[in-house]
A and B are shown apart, each in its own frame.
Chain A
Amino acid sequence: DADVTQTPRNRITKTGKRIMLECSQTKGHDRMYWYRQDPGLGLRLIYYSFDVKDINKGEISDGYSVSRQAQAKFSLSLESAIPNQTALYFCATSDAGQINQPQHFGDGTRLSIL
C-alpha cells in the first residue's frame, strides 16, 4: 500500500461545485502539505500543517481551505470551484524530526473544472 494516498485520483466537476480532496498517510509524519502543479510552473504550495492544531497558508491559498482531521489525514476543499483551479494536486508529508527532510508525495489528483 502507498505511504501517501490521495482520493480521488481523477475528478471532473462543474463551476461552482464544492469539492474535497483527501489525503491520508501511514508514514507517521507530522508535517503535511498541499500543492498544485500546472505545466511550466512547477509545484506551488497551497497550505501546510505542522501538526493537527497548526494550519498555515502557502503562496496560493485563495479559493482553498484545508482541514487536518488527524495526524494522518489532511483534506483540501474548494468551496466554489472555478475553471482556473483545474490542475494536478499533490499531497506530501515530511518528517519533523530533523530539519529540511525531503517530502514524500502521493500520486496526485487530477481535477478538471468545466
Chain B
Amino acid sequence: AQSVTQPDIHITVSEGASLELRCNYSYGATPYLFWYVQSPGQGLQLLLKYFSGDTLVQGIKGFEAEFKRSQSSFNLRKPSVHWSDAAEYFCAVNTGGFKTIFGAGTRLFVKA
C-alpha cells in the first residue's frame, strides 16, 4: 500500500538558518507529490507540486523541493527561514487515482 512518512514530528531552526523537511513515500512508480503548509487556524495551502520533468521544483514563499527517485524522497528546503514560516508542513502523495495520502506532518518552530 502507498504511504508517506515524515520522520520528524517537529523541528526547531533559528531565524535566518536553512531548513530541510524530510518526506519519504512508498510506491512502485513515480507518484504525484505535493507539499502543503498549515498555519494556525487555517486550512492547508499548496506550497509546490511535482508531476514530472525537472526534479527540483520551486514553490511559493521561497520554498523548493527535490524529487529523488532512488531514495523515494521529496524533501522540502528553504535557504533562510523567516519567523512567519512557523507552521505545520504536510507532504502528500497521489498515485494517479482519486486519493491523496498525507503524511503525519512536521511542525516547524522558528526561534529568534
Please report A residues at the B interface, Cβ cutoff 8 Å: 4, 31, 40-45, 48, 50, 56, 58, 90, 92, 99-100, 102-108
Docked pose: A64 CA to B98 CA in angstroms: 20
Is A102 in contact with B43, judged by CB distance below 8 angstroms? Answer: no
Q: Which 4 A-B pairs have the closest CB atoms?
A: A105-B43, A42-B102, A100-B32, A43-B102
Please report B residues at the A interface, Cβ cutoff 8 Å: 4, 9, 32, 34, 36, 41-46, 49, 51, 90, 94, 96, 98-100, 102-105
Query: Which residue in chain A gives the minimum CB-CB distance to B48?
Result: A102
- A92 contacts across to B, CB distance below 8 A: 43-44
Is A105 in contact with B102, judged by CB distance below 8 angstroms? Answer: no
- B41 contacts across to A, CB distance below 8 A: 107-108
Taking A45-B100, A90-B44 as given, write out 6 further A-B residue pairs in contact, using a Cβ cutoff of 8 Å, ordered by the A residue number.
A40-B105, A42-B4, A42-B104, A43-B44, A92-B44, A108-B41
Is B103 in contact with A107, judged by CB distance below 8 angstroms? Answer: no
Query: Nearest Cβ in chain A — how far from B22, in angstroms?
Result: 15
Query: Which residue in chain B gives the minimum CB-CB distance to A41?
Result: B104
8 A-B residue contacts at CB 8 Å? A42-B104, A44-B102, A48-B99, A105-B43, A106-B43, A107-B42, A107-B43, A108-B42
Q: Which residue of the partner chain, among B9, B46, B49, B99, contacts A40 with CB atoms under 8 Å?
A: B9
Docked pose: A72 CA to B33 CA in angstroms: 27
Is A103 in contact with B104, judged by CB distance below 8 angstroms? Answer: no
Docked pose: A40 CA to B46 CA in angstroms: 20
Q: Which residue of the partner chain, among B36, B43, B45, B99, contacts A108 with CB atoms under 8 Å?
A: B43
Is A4 in contact with B104, judged by CB distance below 8 angstroms? Answer: no
Is A100 in contact with B94, judged by CB distance below 8 angstroms? Answer: yes
Docked pose: A103 CA to B19 CA in angstroms: 25
Query: Nearest Cβ in chain B — how far from A56, in angstroms?
Result: 8
- A102 contacts across to B, CB distance below 8 A: 34, 46, 49
Is B43 in contact with A99, judged by CB distance below 8 angstroms? Answer: no
Docked pose: A108 CA to B98 CA in angstroms: 21
